[in-house]
Amino acid sequence: MGAPMNILLAGGGTGGHVYPAIALAEAFLRHDPATRLLFVGSRAGMEARLAPAADIPFVGLAVRPPRSLGPVRVVLSAASLGLSLGQAAAVLARFRPDAVVATGGMAAVAPVVVGAVFNTPVLVLEGNEIPGRTNRLLARFGRAVAVSSEAAAARLPAGRAVVTGLPIRREVVSGTREEGIRTFGLAPNRRTVLVIGGSQGAARLNRAVEEAVVGLAGRRDLQVLHQVGRGWDGALPRGARTDAFSHGPDLPARAAGSAPDRSDPRGSGGLGYVRVPYIDRVGAAYACADLVVSRCGANALAEITACGLPAILVPYPYAADDHQTLNAAPLVAAGAARLVRDAALTGATLTREIESLFESPGRLQAMAAAARSQGRPDAADRVVALVVRLADAATEGVRG
């Protein structure tokens, strides 16, 4: 296409839906800096904050996913979806997108349906091994579905799926170890375990990590950087060394215990431990990590493999269709990760897993190489190329 494209990004509700959209926005602008972008999501979702922070114009719809399956909440959510259909129609009529790219979540439904009615090319992005219920619905309106694996492609309408990988933001792979050490106040001469439970945290994982801090307290060679999620109020477990404890500058004192020790983990008293509510500079965190402990959301695994990091993976057991276990399976089979079932997750179990890996440095190196082999750091560019082809084909169809 000769003229700059108008691209409408739709989705939201979780970081797994928002961050791939931001990654695509970056890629579209790399492809053509004149591209016009618009992010359409729920005005009540995290996308309403994250999209403008990434300098992406944002329009919020009335849609609100139900917080429970209670009849009143379901009816109100359905009503908000109906209202959002009219809002989306007005947005698309004004913006006139060349393509709609949906990254998932209820916030994507109205823009996709309206886009299909307007005969606008729709691409659905799905990162999980088992496509979510919403994306299975949206795939029926899309001209293509970008997926992360052949297994996911097989679960979608025939001929629609294209394996691209899940887009990740450039910052994920552009951080440096020095930046991470400086940002999080870590010790440059220690190996680092990075724990990421998700933007909202993971209570069971957090408790196991805090118990593992006690089990690892004597390790002067290690440090733990722990994203606990906003709102986590867990106190450091009794028995942990206070001279080995620190917390990030953004963490409220109540979340670190009633009287947290602010000592720097560079001290030689034992394990270094830093915890923060949320890691904004995730690229810096990955760059200084030697091992990652994580849930198994598609976005997290795409980032971990793109960075080539060994991992201990703990699937969230209540994820729809147990998709997190299936997300982790290719990494485990490739030797890139160790799997710990949520039911078996304790501080003692996590301590044993961490120590066994650090006591076998050759194993960590082999896992890192296997992780890199599973990564698709160019996924965003692949998806952009697919969108351009769909838009070009639509334009040729109109001319024909």
Domain holding 255: CATH number? 3.40.50.2000
Shared-domain flag, residues 182 and 210: yes
Shared-domain flag, residues 152 and 261: no
In a domain, 21, yes or no: yes
What's the confidence (pLDDT) of residue 2? Answer: 67
Q: What is the mean pLDDT of each run of 10 residues along the chain (400 residues)?
A: 88 92 98 98 94 97 77 75 94 98 95 97 96 90 94 87 96 95 96 83 88 95 92 55 39 31 48 92 96 96 97 93 94 98 96 96 95 96 97 77
28 Rama class: left (phi>0) / alpha (psi -120 to 50) / beta: alpha
Q: From CA 303, how far away is CA 283, in angstroms rounded?
A: 9
Shared-domain flag, residues 253 and 392: no
Q: From CA 242, how far away is CA 265, in angstroms rounded?
A: 10
> SS3 for 297?
coil
In a domain, 369, yes or no: yes
Whether residue 202 contacts residue 342, with contact meaning beta carbons closer than 8 Å, is answered with no
Shared-domain flag, residues 14 and 50: yes
Q: From CA 62, how far away is CA 77, in angstroms rounded?
A: 9
Q: What angle do CA 101, 105, 106 make, to 5 degrees?
A: 105
In a domain, 317, yes or no: yes
Residues contacting 34, CB < 8 A, separation 6+: 4
Range of the domain at 39: 6-168+377-399
What's the confidence (pLDDT) of residue 143? Answer: 95
Whether residue 35 contacts residue 7, with contact meaning beta carbons closer than 8 Å, is answered with yes
What's the confidence (pLDDT) of residue 206? Answer: 93
Q: What angle do CA 22, 228, 258 make, to 5 degrees?
A: 140
Shared-domain flag, residues 143 and 27: yes
Domain count, the chain: 2
* Amino acid at position 327, single letter: N
In a domain, 1, yes or no: no
In a domain, 191, yes or no: yes
Shared-domain flag, residues 62 and 111: yes
Shared-domain flag, residues 126 and 214: no
In a domain, 214, yes or no: yes
Shared-domain flag, residues 105 and 196: no
Residues contacting 24, CB < 8 A, separation 6+: 7, 9, 101, 103, 125, 167, 380, 383, 384
- Ramachandran angles phi, psi of 339, nearest 5°: -105, 130
Q: From CA 372, how far away is CA 385, in angstroms rounded?
A: 23
Residues contacting 362, CB < 8 A, separation 6+: none
Q: From CA 396, how far away is CA 400, in angstroms rounded?
A: 6
Bridge partners (DSSP) listed for residue 339: 313
Shared-domain flag, residues 145 and 204: no
In a domain, 119, yes or no: yes
Shared-domain flag, residues 202 and 278: yes
What's the confidence (pLDDT) of residue 244? Answer: 41
Shared-domain flag, residues 298 and 151: no
Tokens of 7: 């691209």
In a domain, 240, yes or no: yes
Whether residue 348 contacts residue 211, with contact meaning beta carbons closer than 8 Å, is answered with yes
Return the C-alpha torsion angle 228, 250, 292, 11, nearest 10.
Answer: 70
Strand intervals (E) in the chain: 6-11, 36-42, 58-61, 99-104, 122-125, 144-147, 161-163, 191-196, 222-227, 245-247, 272-276, 291-294, 311-313, 337-339
> SS3 for 85?
helix
Tokens of 191: 């190996």
What's the confidence (pLDDT) of residue 392? Answer: 94
Shared-domain flag, residues 392 and 263: no
Whether residue 211 contacts residue 293, with contact meaning beta carbons closer than 8 Å, is answered with no
